[in-house]
Amino acid sequence: MTIHQLHDLLVKKEVTSREATEALYRRIGEVDGKIKSYLMLSEEEAFRQADEVDRKIIREEKIGGLAGIPIGLKDILCTKGIRTTCGSKILGNYVPFYDGTVISKLKENKAVFLGKLNMDEFAMGSSTENSGFQTTRNPWDLQRIPGGSSGGSAAAVAADECIAALGTDTGGSIRQPASCCGVVGLKPTYGRVSRYGLVAFASSLDQIGPITKDVEDCAILLDGISGYDPFDSTSVNVEVPDYKRYLVNDVKGVRIGIPDEYFIEGMDPDVERSAKEAIDLLKKLGAEVKAISLPHTSYAVAIYYIICTAEASSNLARYDGVKYGFRSHRYGDLMEMYGRTREEGFGSEVKRRIILGTYVLSAGYYDAYYRKASQVRTLMKNDFEKAFEEVDVIVTPTAPTPAFRIGEKAEDPLQMYLSDILTIPVNIAGIPAISIPCGFSREGLPIGLQIMGKHFDEGMLLRAAYTFEQNTDFHLKKPSLI
């Protein structure tokens, strides 16, 4: 069931929020042993929230679109009194004393929190194989990855273990798993959604966003979490529109740009075919399609892995075994305690990125790497601004391949990093983008279409995505294995 379908039933008193929550916990009990989406369940909190909404409905009080809707939360969002691990053993026992702003907003909207969802450790990964606790599996093929780092969120939505979920996107971590699992995922404009209470990986890139079953749900959840927040210095004070008003089945006159640089060598032929068929459909529906160029695209992966590792090196310095989280018991002096805590608490990918980031920020290398990457980042941002003078949206595949097999790229970090080659530029430029289902591979695996937009123009993304969705049925198909 979608958010809007369940909302209609709640309002009509055909089902209660408690009944919906109980049904989802039964579903989790049936399938999550195979999928492994959840790291923990918050049943006591969920039923308290559900009962509160049910009492409001009994009293004939009006409820909002998210009231009583059971959702899952990526385990990188601080939840007061509920353990928040970031998929890392170094935070295995951390219980925040405050809610992040998006959590506070969802509480104000009376949403129901089912539990915390698995992820790559500190959001560093493209497969959810880097979690410190378990590997999440793709509901479409249990031998394949669900994408990352929000793999638990995307898999839970695809497997009907929640109505919707929140993820975070630093280089594609909402859109790529959405593509792999056949669901909708939107990365908002940087500054549209507050980052307060989001445990930082790379502060100039991270953004929270919705993962849902259809585009209408995406608009509803985005509306619930967007807005200016004085607690977040990167939050932008721009008016938030009613996103549901953009859900119109019409792309007549919408200018769509197709960059040659995104149809790369080595792209899976099924992905290329599905994306081009999707573009042809949008053209038949009245959109104007034209070729554009984003000339600095080839530098995206190199820029990203300099900037994100540098920021990770700075952000993760706080995990030292002193203030909170895990502390090694095997040490002599303070320096040894620092070293052993990090050695035992962090996984191999997090260590790799901390080392890379520390290197590119170190004396003698800062100018050659971090400063140069920041300069080229500006050039990439300019590429998008120039392109958006000619087009309203840019359409590309979301990922170069469908979901790959678990373990297939685990020993080759560079191949793993290239999984995000089509999503990374969006984060570098700070623009919004959405991934929607647009086809299936010959093996029956979902394929995603990425639509990028101008800063703070999420409405146009939703319009284009909704039109495509209303004229196809890819989003209605469900994995048959579970």
Q: Which residues are catalytic?
A: 74, 149, 173
Cis amide bond preceding 149, omega within 30: yes
The rounded distance, in Å, linking the Cα atoms of 359 and 365 is 7
DSSP-derived 3-state class of residue 31? helix
Bridge partners of residue 209, in order along the sequence: 167
Identify the CA nearest to 189 among candidates 144, 241, 264. 241
CA–CA distance, 250 with 422 (Å, rounded to integer): 26
Neighbours of 13 (CB within 10 A): 11
Helix ranges (H only) for 346-412 are 348-361, 372-387
| DSSP tag of 368 | I
Strands 433-440 and 288-292: unpaired
Which amino acid would we find at residue 175? R
Strand-pair partners of 436: 449
Copy the structure tokens of residue 269: 């032929």
C-alpha distances out from residue 202 to 243, 353, 367, 439, Å: 28, 11, 19, 32
Coil, helix or strand at residue 469: helix
C-alpha distances in Å from residue 284, one per residue of 218, 220, 277: 25, 28, 11
State the sign of the Cα–Cα–Cα–Cα dihedral 323, 75, 72, 224: positive
Local structure of residue 258 (DSSP, 8 states): E
The alpha helices in 59-108, defined as continuous H runs, are: 101-108
Cβ–Cβ < 8 Å for 307, 373: yes
> What letter does residue 290 receive in the DSSP assignment?
E
Alpha-carbon gap, residue 210 to 169, rounded angstroms? 10
List, as one string, the DSSP characters of 137-165: -BTTBTTB---SSSHHHHHHHHTTSSSEE
C-beta separation of 67 from 56 below 8 A:
yes
